[in-house]
Structure formats: structure tokens, C-alpha cells
């Protein structure tokens, strides 16, 4: 089956390409990228055509931080519903965190996740396995076996590795597999009982604060250990000004450290918590305008390598409760593109750089076969209209959960088609 | 159109006459108590008390009642009125209470005032004195002392102005058509 | 004049609104002195006290206030309610609303719960204290008591002493007192002073002795020993040495200083017994005025059109 995508503005950061091009896709792979109108066919061999006029054509987005809740919490999200949500958001590859039940700390769970994902075949799913068994922070997981089963990184996301000695050994041990450790940086004794950023807003609202230092201290510790042991550190969802500085300094010393930011952390501040909407409760928490500005600087100077959503679906029973009792996190996949494109409107980043942080850079860091439009690559593509305005409507989410603080927001940048191996994974026309 | 029905002098004469009638009916002021209904009834009661003092040399107990809390038309979709202080700093037991109001109309205010008074104690009797009786009773209530009977249309409004509250003494009828401008 | 659906906090109350409430409370106070302490105003109205946190005096005060206005008052307490069985508070509130109450008075251990309920139910909500957030009726009764004693509020200096971080009474009082033109200073150990409190328009001090001399009002807070994070204090003894209001401290205070406490008092920890019983202590007057203020709020909430949300 042959497909031509014509008249689009093709942005492929991996190949420094940003110009009008037509794409030829055959047998699920990219076969030609030519000037508009110059792809020709033999008589009688008529391809299907997608007219991408007014749209951007780019590699399918990659989200290195999602929670798909399966196995164990299928009422919040399944691998299938998560993949549909991802496709609707323009993502063709996601990395799923291991805090399921059972935890993804053994070959069996990793293979289980991969087998479901392959059977559904909607988008590419990359498992992230646990650093420690059962996420208990006691013993290292069987990293060799997990890597062999398909794990692409290790993380105890949501339950940071508190023990310093254990973290040191995790860096050392993982070094031989050349896989990064992803840390949710939070000193839990500083945030115990906390549910939002500590500051004037938490003081006014009478909610226990989670100081930014809880994040900073662990980022610093991990960098210090990394410097000693070698290995690769990826800081998950960075949210504080000082943490951005710490990563910047570490990078300048040549350490193998990367980091990601979630769209809500450069879109909202802790002011959004006023009114006690539990959809503003995340970990790390929404922080102050100073932090948001530091994050934008970090995005600009490359300190922050990638954008990842921390897609954390929760059902209404876990959100329609007292703020303190609500679960942390929001649905991220279906709002990430328009929220990230705000960075273009605000002149923080050019369009190609935003796409880069959602495609080729995560692919490079995690060594994925994805994120670029080079010839013969799998045709994982996103076609979106960067100028189309629409209102975010949580009731239309493909995710099983609807927890988002962005309901009703007017945004720009709409996913039109998501293609995985040349096949439609999502099409706005059919939804 | 507003038409003045009582002038300052008329009011003064009416107050004097009511005072005499009260003293006559109650055989003096010894067990007498006056309770005025806020706001203009309270002012009238004060004037009558002063008259009694002028005539009999007795200072009668004088109370003030805010009947809002006893009204039967609260919460009918409109803003509740401000509650002023009620002050009945004496026992009502065995007293002849004369309730004073400016205008007697449907009788509902007086019903509320009687309910309120009874919550303060058990007087020997309750009598009613009003400056104006304009008719249209909706409850079986009749005044014992009346300054002037004024037949009105139900849609009209009777406005009583008292010097202490409004700067001048005057009673006028406000035509229904112009009431919104008043 | 007063057109609110809910009383969730004092933060949003304007000066005129607070004045209206206090004036009304003046009038309602008289009812409690009558031989028959009841008026028929709210006859046929139903008020539900929905208390997710145990409370004796606040609940009783609301109950008496409602009953003196002839409303039917129903108490539902956290321990006997279905929340312990895992029912969601919104479900609880919606179930109660289905029985057509006219006001729900909500107290909760967690901040924001009354506001959250107010987003789901149509009947007016009075916040009777939520977590460390607000306790508006307490602040209003405090202001009422101060105004009654001092004549006016503008320009008065108040110091609030104790665990500022974990006090909803403080937050409600700061908002209301700033709105009414008072100067507020909070005093306590730095571990109990929350981050950024200066931005609420108050000054901060750690030393009670140095702050006491120009205070018109001293408000002592209850030391919440039961929910104290163990790192905030060295010992109750040391706290008491530093912050217990004793007659020795009071020697430095103005002659006519007023002493407040939202109760219940830990005698000897926050206030010494002799100070508590001195003429300057208005702790029991606060309780008396609490009933009047709550009557005024119930009357105001049920008299207005419900078309303007909080």
C-alpha cells in the first residue's frame, strides 16, 4: 500500500529539514521526500493521498513518561486506551512507567506489556522497568533480564530511590547495560503530607506545602553520585528553578545527565490551585512564576532536553475528593502538543525546536528507533494544523480518565492524522 | 401626586389627644408601658411618653420593637431587611402595654408585634395606638387609639414623616402611579 | 448590601459586608438575653451541621443560633457519618441536599472541603472551619467582640500568638482584620510561621515580650498538640516559657488591652490561669457573641436572592 502526503510543511529536526515537501510511504516506510508535486507514479498505480495543506508533517511524537496503569489499575487506563489517547495526541511512541500492579520489575511483566502493545498495534510502547524490586527501594531489580526483555530505561517513578547507597549502586550496576536511570526527584521526608508547592499560595489555602528543595536536594545528590560512578541520569519532570540550574551545571561539567519537563510545569503556576481543583494536584507540584521562567530558559538553552507529559490518568473517585486526599497527576497526552506550541507563540522556542524536544532528542537519549523522517525509516508520522484553534474538551478524551485542568482552554495546534508504520492510528476526520 | 393629609400641627394635636385617651382609659400611667414599633412608631411612642410626663409627671417605661424577625413575608425572594435593636429593658408582667405604630394597614405588622411582645412576658393587656388607620385589614385587629382615619386605595402608599427621623412632621398619601418616584 | 450564597471565608468579604454582619449581630445578641430566647424568623427552615471533624463548641454555637431563629437544626458528625465507610464527601453532601436543607454548615479536617462541596450543591454553605484554611465565623465573632469593647476597629493593633502555620483562625482573622483597617502582627516560633505570610499584609515577630507593649488586642492560639508535627517544637515546656501569656508579660501591656482565645484553652500552656480569669480576658464574651454572629449570618444567607455565588 502506497501513500503520498503532499503539500505539508515537513519538519524533521533530526535531518534539519523544515520546508514544503511531499512524502512517499510504501510498505510502512518512508521511501521518498521530494519537492511538492515531484513524486511521480507509473500509470495504473494510484496511491492514496493525504493533502496536508496548511499542516505540519513531522515525526510522530515521543513521550518518555506515561502511566498506562495496566496491569493492576485498568479502571484508570489500559495499554489500549493509553495508546489511543497517545495517538489522539499525536504520539507514536511512549515509554510506560513501571508503577503498575504487579510492578514492572521482572521479565514477565515487561513481556506482558509488550505483548499487549504489539497485539493492539496502535503505537509503539517502550517499557521502563523498576530500579528496585517492587519499587521498595531495597534491592536492585534484575536489570540484565529486564533489558533483554525490552526495557529501555529504569525508574522507580513516583517512589524515588531514597537510600543513597542503593542509588549509588544502581548507577554503577546500570552502567554496564548502558541504560539511563530516570529519577522522580523528591526527598519524601520534606514533602510528607504535602499536596502543593510550598509558598504564599499554600499558606493562604492552608494546604501543606512541598518545598522545591525536596526536588533540588535529590537532583543534587543524584548528580553527585553520577559524577562518582558514571552511568546515565535522566531527571524526570523537572519543576524547580534551582534544579534546572543544577542540571545546567552538571551538563557543563560534561556529565551524562538529561532532563525532561512536563507541559503543565511551563503552563501553570501554583496560583491555579486556588479553588482547590484537584486536577491541579501533581507531583512535583505546580510551582511559582519564577520557576516557570527558569524552565523556559532551560528549554531555550538546552538544559531541558525533552518534553514529556507524565500522563497520569486517575478516575473520578480518586479526584473528586478533598484536595489532600486526591491522587497526584493529570492526563497529559492529549493536551501536550497545543500546550507545547504555546512556547512557539510566546517566542520561547521555534517550532522545529519544540518538535525536536518531542521527537529526535528523546529518541537519541533513550536510543530508540524513532523520531526522524530519514529514508527507509518506519513511517511514524504526525500531521497537525498549527493554526487551528479549538477548545480542549475532556469529555472527548480518548484516555479512560478525564482528569485535566485544561478543560475548556482555547488552544492552537490540532492533531489531524497520526500514522504508525504508514497506517492511520488516529484521524481527526474520523473522530 | 402626593397629597398632604396631616400637617405638623395636625400631628401634634393627634398625639396630644391620643395621650389623653390613653391616660383616661388606663386611669393614669402607674402600670402603663409604651412600646413603639421601629422606626416611626418608636418616635411616636417617645413623644407620647414625653406628653404623659408633661401631664402626669410620670416617666413611663418605653420600649422599642423591631418586628422584622416576626414577619410572615421573609425570604419571599427579596433581600431581608436590616435588623435594628429591640429594647424592652423592663418586665411586662402585669403591665398595660400600649403598642404604638405610625400606620395601621393590613394588621400583619401588629400581629408580628403582639407575637414579639408575648415572647418578652405576659402583660395584663395589650392596646394599640396608631397615628393613621388606612383600612384594608387582613387580620382581626382593631386599634384602641387612632390619630386619624384615612380612607385609601389599596395601591396607595401612606407616608409618615417624623421630625426626628426625616427632618419634618407630615403625613401624605402617595398616589400609586407616582410611588416609584418617591 | 449582602448578596452572597455562601460564607466560605473572610478573604472575599468587603468592609461593608463585614460591617453589615457585625451590625446585625449587635441586634441579634439581644435575643439571647430575652426570657424566651427564640424568634420565629427561620421557622420551617432546615439547617444541617455537617461536621467531618469533631467539635463541641462551634457545633453547639451553630445549633443554638439556628434554634433561636426557630430553624430545625440537624447535626451529622464525621464519626457517625458514612465518610468513614468510604463514601465520597460529594456523595454525602448530595444525599443531604436531596432532603432540601436550607443551609449546610460544614466543618472538615482538610482545607478546601467546604468550598468543594459548594461547587456541587445548591444550598448555601457556611464554612465552620476547614483544615488550616479558614474559619470565617470565628473571625467575625472576634471582630464583633473587639468592636463591642473598643468601639471601632480601624487602627487597632493586634498580635496573634502561637502556631500561625496550623491555624485557620489566623487566616480568617488576618483577612478580616486587614479589611477593617487593623494592624496585625503574628508571633510564634519560626517553625510555626508559614512561608510568605508577610504577603498577607502582616508583620512577623518571634518575641512575645517585645511585641506586647503597643498591642490593643492579644489573641492567643490553641497549641494543637494532637496534630503537631514532631519537629516544630522542642517541648511544650519551652513553648510555654516563651509564649504563655502570664501576668508578668501583661505588666508590659497597655492598661486596657483585650485578651482573646478561640478556645478550647490549654490552661497554663497558652494562657496562665490568672490571666484567663482577669477582666481583660474576653474569652467567654467571644463565645456569647459567636451565637449572635452565626444568627446574623443565617438570617442574611436566607434572606437574599441566591443568584450571586460566593
Domains present along chain A, CATH in parentheses: 2-57+377-430 (2.30.40.10), 61-365 (3.20.20.140)
| Cα–Cα distance, B40 to A31 (Å, whole number) | 96
Cβ of residue B12 closer than 8 Å to a chain C Cβ = no
C interface mutation test: which of A191, A195, A206 has the most C CBs within 10 A? Answer: A206
Nearest CA in chain B to C1: B79
* CATH number attached to the domain at B2-70+87-181: 3.40.50.2020
* C-chain residues near A204 (CB < 8 A): 11, 171, 200
* A-chain residues near C116 (CB < 8 A): 276, 322-323
Task: Assess whether pLDDT exceeds 80 at residue A44.
Answer: no
Task: Assess whether pLDDT exceeds 80 at residue C287.
Answer: yes
Whether A235 contacts A217, CB under 8 Å = no
Cβ of residue B76 closer than 8 Å to a chain C Cβ = no
- Whether chain B lies against chain C with 3 or more Cβ pairs closer than 8 A is yes
**Edge-to-edge strands of the sheet including A306-307?**
A61-66, A91-96, A124-129, A153-155, A181-183, A233-235, A257-261, A306-307
C79-133 per-position pLDDT tens digit: 544 455 566 888 889 999 999 999 999 999 999 999 999 999 999 999 999 999 9
For the beta carbon of residue B122, count every other beta carbon within 10 angstroms. Answer: 12
Q: Which of residues 177-216 of C touch A (CB under 8 A)?
A: 194-197, 199-200
Query: What is the mean pLDDT of the segment spanning A32-59?
Result: 89
Task: Assess whether pLDDT exceeds 80 at residue A98.
Answer: yes
Q: Under an 8 A CB cutoff, do C35 and B77 touch?
A: no
Task: Assess whether pLDDT exceeds 90 at residue A317.
Answer: no
Confidence of residue A145 (pLDDT cuts 50, 70, 90): very high
Give catalytic residue positions of A. Answer: 310
Q: Under an 8 A CB cutoff, do A322 and C197 touch?
A: no
Q: Please state, in angstroms and as integers, the Cα–Cα distance from residue B117 to each residue in B120, B127, B162, C54, following that order.
A: 5, 12, 24, 39
Task: Assess whether pLDDT exceeds 90 at residue A413.
Answer: yes
In the three-class reduction of DSSP (H, G, I as helix; E, B as strand; rest coil), residue A415 is classed as strand
* A-chain residues near C199 (CB < 8 A): 200
Widest distance between CA atoms in chain B: 48
Q: Please state, in angstroms and as integers, the Cα–Cα distance from residue A409 to each residue in A126, A338, A362, B5, following that order.
A: 31, 10, 27, 65
Task: Assess whether pLDDT exceeds 50 at residue C306.
Answer: no
- pLDDT-above-70 percentage for chain A: 100
Nearest CA in chain A to C168: A206
Confidence of residue B178 (pLDDT cuts 50, 70, 90): low
Q: Is the dihedral of CA C211, C212, C216, C219 positive or negative?
A: positive
Q: What is the pLDDT of residue C309?
A: 37
Task: Assess whether pLDDT exceeds 70 at residue B182.
Answer: no
In which region does residue C22 sit, left (phi positive, over 0), alpha (psi from -120 to 50) or beta (all else)?
alpha
C224 compared with A313, residue with greater pLDDT: A313
- Nearest Cα neighbor of A204 from C21, C182, C112, B12 is C112
| Cα–Cα distance, B73 to B41 (Å, whole number) | 20
Q: What is the pLDDT of residue B79?
A: 66
Q: Under an 8 A CB cutoff, do A275 and C200 touch?
A: no
Domain boundaries, chain B: 2-70+87-181
Q: Under an 8 A CB cutoff, do B120 and C35 touch?
A: yes
Cis peptide upstream of residue C220 (ω within 30 degrees of 0): no
ipTM for the whole complex = 0.90
Task: Assess whether pLDDT exceeds 60 at residue B75.
Answer: no
- Nearest Cα neighbor of B33 from B102, B132, B122 is B122
| Cα–Cα distance, A167 to B60 (Å, whole number) | 90
Q: What is the pLDDT of residue C2?
A: 80
CA of B108 vs chain C CAs: smallest distance (Å): 14
* C-chain residues near B85 (CB < 8 A): 26-27, 30
Q: What residues contact residue C230 under an 8 Å CB cut-off, 6+ apart? A: none
Nearest CA in chain A to C93: A321
Q: What is the pLDDT of residue C290?
A: 97
Query: What is the mean pLDDT of the segment spanning B21-28?
Result: 94
Q: What is the pLDDT of residue A48?
A: 92
- pLDDT-above-90 percentage for chain A: 94
Strand partners, B158: B173
| One-character DSSP codes across A24-58 | EEETTEEEEEESTT-----TT-PPEEEE-TT-EEE
Q: What is the pLDDT of residue A409?
A: 98
Strand partners, C106: C50, C127
Q: E-strand spans in A254-393?
A: 257-261, 306-307, 381-391
Q: Under an 8 A CB cutoff, do B75 and C302 touch?
A: yes
Nearest CA in chain C to A323: C112
A357-394 per-position pLDDT tens digit: 999 999 999 999 999 999 999 999 999 999 999 999 99
Nearest CA in chain A to C88: A321
Task: Assess whether pLDDT exceeds 50 at residue A284.
Answer: yes
Q: Under an 8 A CB cutoff, do B74 and C41 touch?
A: yes
* A-chain residues near C196 (CB < 8 A): 199-200, 203
- Whether chain A lies against chain C with 3 or more Cβ pairs closer than 8 A is yes
CA of C249 vs chain B CAs: smallest distance (Å): 39
Task: Assess whether pLDDT exceeds 70 at residue A431.
Answer: no
Strand partners, B132: B103, B148
Cβ of residue C303 closer than 8 Å to a chain B Cβ = yes
Q: What is the pLDDT of residue B126?
A: 97
Chains contacting A with at least 3 CB pairs below 8 Å? C
What is the 3 state secondary structure string of chain C? CCCCCCECCCCCCCHHHHHHHHHHHHHHHHHHHCCCCCCCCCCCCEEEEEECCCCCHHHHHHHHHHHHCCCEEEEEECCCCHHHHCCCHHHHHHHHHCCCCCEEEEEECCCCHHHHHHCCCCCCEEEEEECCCECHHHHHHHHHHHHHHHCCCCCCEEEEECCCCCCHHHHHHHHHHHHCCCEEEEECCHHHCCCCHHHHCCEEECCHHHHCCCCCEEEECCCCHHHCCCCCCCCHHHHHHHHCECHHHHCCCCCCCEEECCCCCCECCCECHHHHCCCCECHHHHHHHHHHHHHHHHHHHHHCCCCCCC
Q: Under an 8 A CB cutoff, do A323 and C108 touch?
A: no
Q: Under an 8 A CB cutoff, do A323 and C199 touch?
A: no
Task: Assess whether pLDDT exceeds 90 at residue C229.
Answer: no
- Nearest Cα neighbor of C227 from C141, C272, C168, C183 is C168
Strand partners, A311: A66
B102-118 per-position pLDDT tens digit: 999 999 999 999 999 99
For the beta carbon of residue B147, count every other beta carbon within 10 angstroms. Answer: 24
* C-chain residues near B77 (CB < 8 A): 305
Q: What is the pLDDT of residue C224?
A: 77
* A-chain residues near C139 (CB < 8 A): none
Domains of chain C (ranges, CATH numbers): 15-134+288-303 (3.40.50.1370), 136-286 (3.40.50.1370)
Whether A343 contacts A299, CB under 8 Å = yes
Query: What is the mean pLDDT of the segment spanning C223-245?
Result: 83
Query: What is the mean pLDDT of the segment spanning C204-231?
Result: 87
Q: Under an 8 A CB cutoff, do B74 and C23 touch?
A: no
| Cα–Cα distance, C55 to B111 (Å, whole number) | 39
Query: What is the mean pLDDT of the segment spanning B139-163?
Result: 93
Q: Please give the distance of CA C193 from its chain centroid, rounded to a whole number.
A: 19
Confidence of residue C3 (pLDDT cuts 50, 70, 90): confident
- The CA-based angle B135-B136-B142, given to 5 degrees, is 60
Q: Under an 8 A CB cutoff, do A199 and C196 touch?
A: yes
Strand partners, A24: A4, A32
Q: What is the pLDDT of residue A430?
A: 73
Task: Assess whether pLDDT exceeds 70 at residue A294.
Answer: yes
Closest in A198, A200, A322 to C110, CB measured: A322
- pLDDT-above-90 percentage for chain B: 74
Cβ of residue B155 closer than 8 Å to a chain C Cβ = no
CA of B11 vs chain C CAs: smallest distance (Å): 30
Chains contacting B with at least 3 CB pairs below 8 Å? C
Cβ of residue C132 closer than 8 Å to a chain A Cβ = yes
| Cα–Cα distance, C296 to C290 (Å, whole number) | 10
- Whether chain B lies against chain A with 3 or more Cβ pairs closer than 8 A is no
Confidence of residue B181 (pLDDT cuts 50, 70, 90): very low
Widest distance between CA atoms in chain A: 73
Q: What is the pLDDT of residue C301?
A: 93
Q: Under an 8 A CB cutoff, do B69 and C40 touch?
A: yes
Q: What is the pLDDT of residue C35?
A: 84
Cβ of residue C72 closer than 8 Å to a chain B Cβ = no
Q: What residues contact residue C201 under an 8 Å CB cut-off, 6+ apart? A: C174, C178, C184
Contacting C with CB below 8 Å, chain A residues are: 198-200, 202-207, 209, 275-276, 317, 320-325
Cβ of residue B69 closer than 8 Å to a chain C Cβ = yes
Q: What is the pLDDT of residue A158?
A: 87
CA of A331 vs chain C CAs: smallest distance (Å): 21
Cβ of residue C8 closer than 8 Å to a chain B Cβ = no
| Cα–Cα distance, A133 to A211 (Å, whole number) | 28
Q: Under an 8 A CB cutoff, do C30 and B79 touch?
A: no
Amino acid at each position: 500500500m502506497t501513500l503520498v502526503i503532499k503539500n505539508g510543511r515537513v519538519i524533521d529536526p533530526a535531518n534539519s529539514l523544515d520546508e514544503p515537501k511531499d512524502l512517499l510511504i510504501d510498505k510502512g516506510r518512508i521511501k521518498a521526500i521530494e519537492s511538492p508535486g515531484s513524486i511521480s507514479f507509473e500509470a495504473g498505480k494510484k496511491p492514496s493521498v493525504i493533502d496536508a495543506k496548511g499542516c505540519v508533517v513531522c515525526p510522530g511524537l515521543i513521550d518518555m513518561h506515561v502511566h498506562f496503569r495496566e496491569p493492576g489499575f485498568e479502571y484508570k487506563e489500559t495499554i489500549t486506551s493509553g495508546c489511543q489517547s497517545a495517538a489522539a495526541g499525536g504520539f507514536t511512541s511512549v515509554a510506560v512507567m513501571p508503577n503498575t500492579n504487579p510492578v514492572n520489575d521482572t521479565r514477565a511483566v515487561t513481556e506482558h506489556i509488550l505483548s499487549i502493545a504489539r497485539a493492539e498495534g496502535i503505537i509503539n510502547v517502550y517499557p521502563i522497568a523498576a530500579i528496585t524490586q517492587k519499587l521498595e527501594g531495597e534491592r536492585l531489580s534484575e536489570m540484565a533480564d529486564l533489558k533483554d526483555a525490552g526495557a529501555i530505561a529504569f525508574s522507580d517513578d513516583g517512589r524515588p530511590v531514597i537510600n543513597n547507597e542503593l542509588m549509588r549502586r544502581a548507577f554503577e550496576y546500570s552502567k554496564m547495560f548502558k541504560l539511563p536511570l530516570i529519577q522522580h526527584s523528591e526527598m519524601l521526608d520534606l514533602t510528607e503530607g504535602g499536596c502543593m508547592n510550598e509558598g504564599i499560595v499554600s499558606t493562604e489555602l492552608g494546604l501543606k506545602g512541598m518545598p522545591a528543595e525536596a526536588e533540588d536536594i535529590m537532583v543534587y545528590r543524584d548528580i553527585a553520585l553520577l559524577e562518582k560512578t558514571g552511568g546515565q541520569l535522566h531527571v524526570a519532570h523537572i519543576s524547580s528553578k534551582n534544579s534546572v540550574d543544577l542540571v545546567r551545571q552538571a551538563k557543563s561539567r560534561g556529565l551524562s545527565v538529561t532532563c525532561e519537563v512536563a507541559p503543565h510545569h511551563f503552563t501553570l503556576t501554583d496560583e491555579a490551585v486556588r479553588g482547590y481543583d484537584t486536577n491541579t494536584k501533581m507531583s512535583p507540584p505546580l510551582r511559582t512564576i519564577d520557576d516557570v521562567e527558569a524552565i523556559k530558559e532551560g528549554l531555550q538553552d538546552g538544559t531541558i532536553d525533552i518534553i514529556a507529559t507524565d500522563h497520569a490518568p486517575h478516575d473520578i473517585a480518586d479526584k473528586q475528593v478533598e484536595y489532600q486526599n486526591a491522587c497526584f497527576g493529570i492526563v497529559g497526552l492529549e493536551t501536550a502538543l497545543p500546550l507545547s506550541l504555546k512556547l512557539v507563540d510566546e517566542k520561547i522556542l521555534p517550532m522545529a525546536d519544540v518538535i525536536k524536544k518531542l521527537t529526535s532528542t528523546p529518541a537519541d537519549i533513550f536510543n530508540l528507533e524513532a523520531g526522524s523522517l530519514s529514508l527507509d525509516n518506519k513511517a511514524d508520522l504526525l500531521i497537525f494544523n498549527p493554526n487551528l484553534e479549538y477548545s480542549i474538551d475532556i469529555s472527548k478524551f480518548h484516555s479512560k480518565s478525564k482528569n485535566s485542568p485544561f478543560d475548556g482552554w482555547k488552544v492552537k495546534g490540532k492533531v489531524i492524522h497520526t500514522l504508525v508504520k504508514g497506517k492511520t492510528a488516529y484521524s481527526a476526520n474520523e473522530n | 401626586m402626593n397629597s398632604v393629609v396631616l400637617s405638623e400641627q395636625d400631628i401634634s394635636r393627634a398625639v396630644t389627644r391620643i395621650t389623653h385617651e390613653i391616660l383616661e382609659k388606663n386611669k393614669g400611667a402607674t402600670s402603663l408601658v409604651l412600646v413603639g414599633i421601629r422606626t416611626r412608631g418608636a418616635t411616636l411612642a417617645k413623644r407620647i411618653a414625653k406628653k404623659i410626663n408633661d401631664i402626669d409627671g410620670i416617666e413611663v417605661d418605653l420600649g422599642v420593637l423591631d418586628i422584622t424577625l416576626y414577619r410572615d413575608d421573609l425570604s419571599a425572594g427579596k433581600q431581608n431587611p436590616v435588623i435594628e435593636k429591640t429594647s424592652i429593658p423592663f418586665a411586662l408582667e402585669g403591665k398595660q402595654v400600649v403598642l404604638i405604630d405610625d400606620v395601621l394597614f393590613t394588621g400583619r405588622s401588629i400581629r408580628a408585634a403582639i407575637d414579639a411582645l408575648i415572647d418578652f412576658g405576659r402583660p395584663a393587656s395589650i392596646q394599640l395606638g396608631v397615628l393613621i388607620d388606612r383600612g384594608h385589614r387582613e387580620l382581626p385587629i382593631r386599634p384602641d387609639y387612632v390619630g386619624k382615619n384615612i380612607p385609601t386605595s389599596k395601591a396607595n402608599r401612606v407616608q409618615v414623616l417624623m421630625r426626628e427621623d426625616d427632618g419634618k412632621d407630615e403625613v401624605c398619601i402617595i398616589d400609586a402611579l407616582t410611588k416609584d418616584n418617591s | 448590601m449582602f448578596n452572597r450564597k455562601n460564607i466560605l471565608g473572610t478573604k472575599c468579604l468587603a468592609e461593608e459586608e463585614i460591617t453589615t454582619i457585625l451590625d446585625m449581630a449587635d441586634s441579634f445578641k439581644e435575643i439571647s438575653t430575652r426570657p424566651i430566647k427564640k424568634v420565629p424568623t427561620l421557622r420551617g427552615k432546615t439547617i444541617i451541621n455537617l461536621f467531618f471533624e469533631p467539635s463541641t463548641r462551634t457545633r453547639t454555637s451553630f445549633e443554638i443560633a439556628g434554634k433561636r431563629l426557630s430553624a430545625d437544626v440537624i447535626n451529622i458528625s464525621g464519626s457517625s457519618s458514612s465518610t468513614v465507610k468510604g463514601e465520597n464527601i460529594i456523595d454525602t453532601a448530595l444525599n443531604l441536599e436531596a432532603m432540601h436543607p436550607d443551609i449546610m454548615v460544614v466543618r472538615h479536617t482538610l482545607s478546601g472541603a467546604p468550598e468543594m462541596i459548594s461547587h456541587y450543591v445548591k444550598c448555601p454553605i457556611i464554612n465552620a472551619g476547614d483544615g488550616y484554611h479558614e474559619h470565617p465565623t470565628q473571625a467575625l465573632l472576634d471582630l464583633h467582640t473587639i468592636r463591642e469593647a473598643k468601639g471601632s476597629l480601624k487602627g487597632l493593633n493586634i498580635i496573634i500568638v502561637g502556631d500561625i502555620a496550623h491555624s485557620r483562625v489566623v487566616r480568617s482573622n488576618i483577612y478580616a482584620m486587614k479589611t477593617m483597617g487593623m494592624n496585625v502582627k503574628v508571633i510564634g516560633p519560626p517553625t510555626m510561621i508559614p512561608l510568605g505570610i508577610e504577603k498577607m499584609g502582616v508583620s512577623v515577630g518571634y518575641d512575645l515580650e517585645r511585641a506586647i507593649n503597643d498591642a490593643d488586642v492579644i489573641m492567643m492560639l490553641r497549641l494543637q498538640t494532637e496534630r503537631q508535627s514532631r519537629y516544630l517544637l522542642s517541648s511544650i515546656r519551652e513553648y510555654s516559657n516563651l509564649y504563655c501569656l502570664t501576668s508578668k508579660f501583661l505588666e508590659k501591656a497597655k492598661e486596657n488591652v483585650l485578651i482573646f482565645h478561640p478556645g478550647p484553652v490549654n490552661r497554663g500552656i497558652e494562657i496562665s490561669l490568672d490571666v484567663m480569669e482577669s477582666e481583660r480576658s474576653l474569652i467567654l464574651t467571644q463565645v456569647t457573641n459567636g451565637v449572635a454572629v452565626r444568627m446574623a449570618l443565617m438570617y442574611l444567607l436566607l434572606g437574599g436572592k441566591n443568584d450571586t455565588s460566593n
